[in-house]
Amino acid sequence: MNTMVKHTFRTERCKGCGLCVSACSKHLLAISKETINKSGHYVAYMTNQEACTGCCNCALMCPDCVIRIEKE
Amino acid sequence: MSQKVLMKGNEAIAEAAIIAGCRHYFGYPITPQTEIAAYMAKRMPKIGGTFLQAESEIAAINMVYGAASAGVRAMTSSSSPGISLKQEGISYIAGAELPAVIVNSQRAGPGLGGIQPGQSDYFQAVKGGGHGDYHLIVLTPASVQEMAELTVKAFDLADKYRMPVMLLTDGTIGQMMEPVSLDLKVESAVEKPWATTGTEMKREHNIITSLSLVPAELEQWNLDRYAKYAHIEENETLWEEYMTEDADVVVVAFGIAARVSKNAVNAARAEGIKVGLIRPITVWPFPNKPLAALAAKGVSMVCVELSMGQMIEDVKLATECKVPVSLCKRVGGIIPTPNEILEAIRAAKGGNEA
Amino acid sequence: MIVFDKPRSLADVSTSYCPGCTHGIIHRLVAEAIDELGIEGNTIGIAPVGCSVMAYNFFTCDMIEAAHGRAPAVATGVKRARPDKIVFSYQGDGDLASIGTAEIVHAAARNENITVIFVNNAIYGMTGGQMAPTSLPGQITQTSPYGRDPKHCGYPVKVCEMLSQLEGPEYLQRVTVNSPKHVNQAKKAILKAFRNQIEGKGFSLVEVISACPTNWGLRPDEALRWIDDNMIPYYPLGVYKDRSEKKEEQA
C-alpha cells in the first residue's frame, strides 16, 4: 500500500537486539538467520517494505541508530 | 624598588593567584588556610571572577578539573585532611594532563591531627599522593614574599607542562605577616588548543580523559608523561644554598623548618662550625645534584623536618648514603627551636671528627 | 526525504553498549536535542564512570570524562569557567545516586545552570550487575543474590522525589524509553532540559528509566516490559518540579 517508504539499515551498527522487530505493529521486521556483521551480530532487515506505513517506531526504538527512513 | 604591603602568607597566595590571572577558585573551609578562601570570596566578585564554596574537598577539586578542562587558570586550597580527600581528583588531573594549582597549608597529622603546622604530607606531595604513576611539581615557600612569587610560578609551570602544581606550605607561613612586593612577573599566557571550550564546528571534538582500555596506549601515556617529568627534573629544580662553600656539615630543610635552620646555621657559624644550608624550593623535582656534589666532598647532612623523617629519605637517595645523614625533628605541630637544630649540627660536626 | 536518521552530533561509531541496552536510545535523544537546538559547537558534555564511561567517544561535541560520581562538580567547573557554553552531564544510577549523591544534591541546590541526563536502570551494569542505590526491593543482583532486602540494605533512592524537596532546581522530570510513545515523551523532556539552560533558567535533570537486559537476565523486549511491570510502579513517571510552569500558572 505504501511504496513510498524506504528503510536503509546501517548493518555494521546493528547488534541484533530485536527491539525494532518488537516495535513494529505490522511485524514487518526480522533478525536475519544468515547475515552476520563484522561484530558478529545477526542483523535486522525489512521483510516487506511495501507494507510499511512509515510510522518510524522501529527506528525510534533502535538503540544503535541502524535504521534510516526516507519517504517520497 | 617596588612598594611593599604587609600581608599574611595566605593572603599573599590569594592575591598572587589573581595577579597570575586565576579567576576561578573552588574551596572548602579548613584551618589553617581559610584566609585564602575568605580573600577570594571578597575579591573575585569584584574582578569578574568566580569564588565558589564547594560541598566538599572532593567536589572542589573536581570543579578545578572542570574549569581547567575549559582552559582557565583554576585553583583550590586546603590543609592536610582536606588534601587527602582531593587525592582522587589530583590523580585524575595528572592522568588527564590538566594544569591546576593546589595549595596545601599543612597541619600536623595523621587523621584529624591538630591545627598547628606540620610537614608530614611530604611523602604524599612528592610521591604522587593518589593512585597511579604521576608527580606534581611541588613548591615550598619559606617566606610571605615567596608565597606570592611561587604562586605565580605554580600557575606558569602548570600551564607550561599541563600538570598539577602544589604549593606545599604550612600553617605558620600562612598566618605569618611580612612585607611583600606584589610586583610579580607572570609568563605570557599559553595557548590551550586541547581545552574543551566547544568545537564551534571548526575542529574535531576535544576529549579530556585519563581512561584507556588499551594497555599499550596507556603504557605509552605513562612513558610520555615520565619523559616530561625527566625534562622538568633537568630544567625546573630550584633550591637555595647558604654558606655551603666551605661547609663540613649542611642542614637540609624546606619551608618553615628552613627559616629556623638558618638561625641555627648562623649560631653554629658564630661558634666556628663550618655549616651551611640547602633549602629545596622544589621538593619535586628534588635538588639531587647539589646534595650529591656535597656528598662527594664528604659533607655530613642534617635534615630538619616537622615530620618523623620523610624528606630525609630523598636526601639519603640523593647522597647515595655516602655520608652520615641525621634527623632533627619535631611533630604534633611543634617547630624545632634553633637550639635543638644547633645541637644536631654540633652532633653532626662531632660525628665528622670522630 | 529523510524522515529518520542518526543525528549529526552522535558520532558515527558503534557504541560499547550491550544489545538491547537503551543507553543507545537515550544517547540518540540527547544528540537529537543538541542538533535541533543547533548547539553542537557550543556544548561540552561530561561522561561518568559506569557503562556510559566511553560516552565521550559517542558524541561529537567536546567531552570530558569525570571521576565516579563527580560529573556535576566537573560540570560546575566548566559552566563557571564558560558560562556562555552549554554543559551537560550524563550519569548512571551508581554514579549519580550512590557515590555522587553529594555532588548532584549540591549542584541542584545551587541551581547550577546545567543539564543532567540521569540513566536509572537499577543496577551496576559495567561491573557486572551488582545492587544499585536504585535496585528495587526484592531485586536479585550479584550482590543481593537473595533479593534486595530493605531491612538489611535499605530502600532505593528516588532521585527526582528527593531533589524536588530542594528550593534550587528548575526542572526535574522522570521519563522512560520502553515504547515509541515514551521515547517521544523522553525526547521532549530532554529538549526542555537543554532549552532551560540556554534560557538561563538553571538546573534541569531528566531521569530516564532504562533497560539493562544483560544484567536483568531478560531478552531485550522482555526488559522493556519489566520496566512497565516493575520499575514504573516504584518510580512513577512525570514532572517532579518545573518552576517555569508554576510561574506561568501564577501569571
State which amino acid sits at residue C45: G
Contact in structure between C112 and C72 (CB atoms under 8 Å):
yes
Specify whether the CB–CB gap between B153 and B267 falls below 8 A: no
Give the mean pLDDT of B198-219: 98
A63·C221 Cβ contact <8 A? no
pTM exceeding the 0.90 threshold for the entire prediction: yes
B230 CB-near residues (< 8 Å, 6+ apart):
none
Asked whether this chain's domains B4-235 and B240-353 adopt the same fold, the reply is: yes
DSSP B193-238: TTS-S--TTTSPPPEE------HHHHHHHHHHHHHHHHHHHHH---
What domains sit in chain C, N to C, each tagged with a CATH number? 23-250 (3.40.50.970)
Query: Distance between alpha carbon B53 and the CA centroid of its chain, in Å?
Result: 23
Q: Answer whether residue B353 shows pLDDT above 80.
A: no
A-chain residue closest to C14, CA distance? A13
Q: Can chain A be said to touch chain C, i.e. do they have 3 or more Cβ pairs within 8 angstroms?
A: yes
Note the pLDDT of residue B352: 65
Position B350 confidence tier, pLDDT thresholds 50, 70, 90? confident
Question: Which of these, C240, C245, C103, C72, lies nearest to C161 by C-alpha position?
Answer: C240
Indicate if the pLDDT at residue B94 is higher than 70: yes
Of the pLDDT bands very low, low, confident and very high (cuts 50, 70, 90), residue B1 is low
What pLDDT does B2 receive?
Answer: 74
Closest Cα in chain B, distance from residue C83 (Å): 11
CA distance C240 to chain A (A): 25
The residue to which cell 561484530 is assigned? A39
Selected for mutation to probe chain C from B205, B206, B209, B210 (highest C CB count within 10 Å) is B205
Q: What is the pLDDT of residues C129-180, one digit of tens each?
A: 999 999 999 999 999 999 999 999 999 999 999 999 999 999 999 999 999 9
**List of chain C residues whose C-beta atoms are within 8 Å of the C-beta of residue B59:** 70, 73, 76, 102-103, 106
Distance CA B131, CA B129 (A): 7
Helices B9-19 and B144-161 sit at what angle, rounded to 10 degrees? 40
Contacts of A10 in chain C (CB under 8 A): 6
Report d(CA B159, CA C173) in Å as an integer.
41
Domain range list for chain B: 4-235, 240-353
pLDDT, tens digit (0-9, with 9 covering 90-100), for B123-149: 999 999 999 999 999 999 999 999 999
Q: Tell me the average pLDDT of chain B.
A: 97
> Is the distance from CB of B349 to CB of B249 less than 8 angstroms?
yes
Q: Which fold has domain A5-71?
A: Alpha-Beta Plaits (3.30.70)
Per cent of chain B over pLDDT 90 is 97
ipTM: 0.97
Residue C251 has a pLDDT of 60
Domain locations along chain A? 5-71
Task: Report chain C (251 residues): mean pLDDT per 10 consecutive residues.
Answer: 97 96 98 98 98 97 98 98 98 98 98 98 96 98 97 97 98 98 98 98 98 98 98 98 81 60
Residues from chain C that touch A23, judged by Cβ atoms under 8 A, are 179-180
pLDDT in tens, A28-65: 999 999 999 999 999 999 999 999 999 999 999 999 99
Name the class of domain B240-353: alpha beta
- Other CB atoms closer than 10 Å to residue C157's CB: what's the count? 17
Q: Mutate which of C4, C177, C181 to test chain A, going by most A C-beta atoms within 10 A?
A: C4
Give the fold, CATH level 3, of B4-235.
Rossmann fold (3.40.50)
A50 part of contact set with chain C, CB < 8 Å: no
Is residue C87 within 8 Å of residue C42, measured between CB atoms? Answer: no
The angle at the Cα of B250, spanning B247 to B254, to the nearest 5 degrees, equals: 140
Give the chain C residue whose CA is nearest to the CA of A7.
Answer: C4
Among candidate residues B211, B222, B174, B208, the one with its CA nearest the CA of residue B62:
B208
The partner residue sitting opposite A13, judged by closest CB among C14, C23, C180, is: C14
To the nearest whole angstrom, how far is the Cα of A53 from the nearest Cα of chain C? Answer: 13
Chain A contacts of C18, Cβ < 8 Å? Answer: 15
Q: If you measure CA to CA, which chain C residue comes closest to B210?
A: C65
